[in-house]
A and B are shown apart, each in its own frame.
Chain A
Amino acid sequence: MTLQNFITLFAEQFDDTEMDLFTPQTNFKQLDEWSSLVALSVISMVDEEFDKQLTGAELRNANTIEELYRIIESK
């Protein structure tokens, strides 16, 4: 999966955040809408799209969307 595709899927887990706020460098935990519930949706999306288990610790360790993408790709 390309980074761009991942960003689109990542953005789909949010309801009210503008699409153009999602870039590789977006510090996603700073977004107003970020919450523990959105975190669970991201984990669920990664499971579905990559068939990989993204742990809570891995999610905590990533700051930008690109960092998160690299973590998943390296698994």
Chain B
Amino acid sequence: MSFLSIKNVKIRGIAACVPSRIEENKDYKELSAEEIEKYIQTTGVQRRHCAIHDGSICTSDLCQKAAEKLISDLKWDKSEIGLLVFVSHTTDYRLPATACVLQDKMGITKNCLAFDVTLGCSGYLLGMGIAGSLLQNGTIKKALVMVGNTQSEYASYHDRSMYLLLGDAGTVTALEYNEQDYDEMDFNYLTDGSGRASVIVPDGGSRNPVNEKSFIQEDYGDGIKRNRLQEKMDGTEVFSFAIHHVPQNFKELMDQIHLNKEDVDYLLIHQANKFLCEKLRKKIGFPPEKCPYNIQEFGNTSGATIPLLMVTNLKKELESKPLTICMTTIGVGFSLGSGCIKTNKIVCPDLMYL
């Protein structure tokens, strides 16, 4: 078991930004209207906000816009931000770290620890756990956890399992060291790298450097074609892993922190696809009214789904009253996390567009 229990850290605010450009799944050319309708019914995804992947909008740009607004609403001084964690699989460069780029572009003090974490769907809970743990030390006072992805970049148009599912988003969560008035955060993690081939972009890293073959479109049957620089997802393996391990991992966390489901205001399930989310909701045992969705508007935005869901669906409550929010995430790796955080009247600007 891999638990983290974080104290003396306060969640001050959350913000999110998505590309203003929208892709409607009903406009997809490679399926019939009837097939698209069935796809939408099963996955829940009607439309997605997607950047054009020519370098004009990167994940860091979405995170930066969200962060600038949040910092200004919080009236934070950028000279006080001592930690910047950027969690993404879509970094600006292979090197340097995007967190360093952001430190400079945003004018955050040089006296700052900034680094990237390469994780996908589980990224929010990992990022919060890492930043919370570092802040607990008490010597760094303010931190930004930026979690986002523009991974629609990796989807082949001829691979409906990916193309109609992936959306882009950038988010930021502001954390502060505070011994008197803190919000408890608890996490439980699980990693199973034996599933690494189930969600993968095979070429372009050091293991399989880009070569001429990387660009060749291969036919995987069933109308699915993609090249080796695009993302492959074996949906059956992901589902199998998720349905078995997510509820178990979540229950371990609840037992560890002695929390009853009745005392939880919301369970935020990583917006992977509606079919999986509903199976997980029922197995974990939460009523529909405690498990909001925004997958219909944004698709699967990887690590950003949970904070994005907080901004789009829970803004008013986050701003006005104390909440106990549980979360479950599962994805590429496989990397899995469950979390429970308490919030008390945090700053939550309206969703932003770029």
Contacts and interface: CB of A to CB of B under 8 A. Distances in A.
Nearest to B241: A53
A43 B236 contact: yes
Interface stretch (A13-21, A34-42, A63-71): A34-42
Interface in B234-289: 234-237, 239-241, 243-245, 275-276, 279, 283
A16 to B, nearest CB: 14
A44 B241 contact: no
A11 B240 CA distance: 19
B244 A40 contact: no
A39 B241 contact: no
A40 B275 contact: yes
Interface string B72-113: 000000000000000000000000000000000000000000
Contacts of A54: 240
Interface residues of A, number: 15
B118 interface: no
A2 interface: no
B313 to A, nearest CB: 26
B237 A47 contact: no
B239 A40 contact: yes
B42 interface: yes
B236 A56 contact: yes
A1 interface: no
Nearest to B237: A56
Contacts, number: 38
B236 A40 contact: yes
A37 B275 CA distance: 9
A37 B236 contact: no
A37 B42 contact: yes
A53 B239 CA distance: 10
A47 B243 contact: yes
Contact of A44 (B42, B234, B237, B279): B279
A53 B246 CA distance: 12
Contact of B234 (A43, A47, A56): A56
Contacts of A30: none
A43 B275 contact: no
Contact of B243 (A37, A39, A44, A59): A44
Nearest to B238: A56
Residue from A36, A54, A56, A57 whose CB has the most chain B CB atoms within 10 Å: A56
A67 to B, nearest CB: 17
Contact of A59 (B236, B241, B283): B236
A47 B42 contact: no
A55 B235 contact: no
Given A40-B276, A57-B237, 6 more contacts: A36-B236, A47-B244, A54-B240, A55-B237, A56-B237, A56-B240
20 contacts: A36-B236, A37-B42, A37-B275, A39-B236, A40-B239, A40-B276, A43-B236, A44-B239, A44-B279, A47-B244, A47-B283, A53-B241, A53-B243, A53-B244, A53-B245, A54-B240, A55-B241, A56-B237, A56-B239, A57-B237
Q: Considering the complex of A and B, which 10 residue pairs feature the smallest CB-CB distances, nearest first?
A: A56-B236, A53-B244, A56-B237, A43-B240, A40-B239, A47-B243, A55-B240, A47-B244, A44-B243, A44-B279
